[in-house]
Amino acid sequence: MAFVDVDDLKARNDSQGHAAGDRLLLQVVETVRGVVRDYDLIVRYGGDEFLCGLADVGLAEARRRFEAANASLAATLGASITAGLAELAPEELLEDLIGRADADMYAQRHNRSAE
């Protein structure tokens, strides 16, 4: 599971308008589609958040894919995402999996800002 947050969407909405923010969201989804498989699930979870379900992909490979998406967004749009990842544990509830991916997203953001 990947918990993906579009960085600074509110600032873009405030400075360029909501139509620009909506275009960015669509471009983020298209970029993420480029690094996942056709059958992997991408669901909008909140205003600037998406959940991505990737079956049979390890955390290292998933992280590599989302780093590639982030690099592409930075190069083409000057935008970025932060992705948190979690693997489904036996008998784990979806709510708990999402919570762990969300927590990892915040940890990734904190680690990036500390660099």
Catalytic residues: 48
Helices (H), 2-44: 9-16, 18-33
The continuous run of DSSP H or E covering 49 comes out as strand 49-53
Whole-angstrom Cα distance, residue 35 to residue 30?
9
Whole-angstrom Cα distance, residue 108 to residue 90?
24
Whole-angstrom Cα distance, residue 9 to residue 81?
10
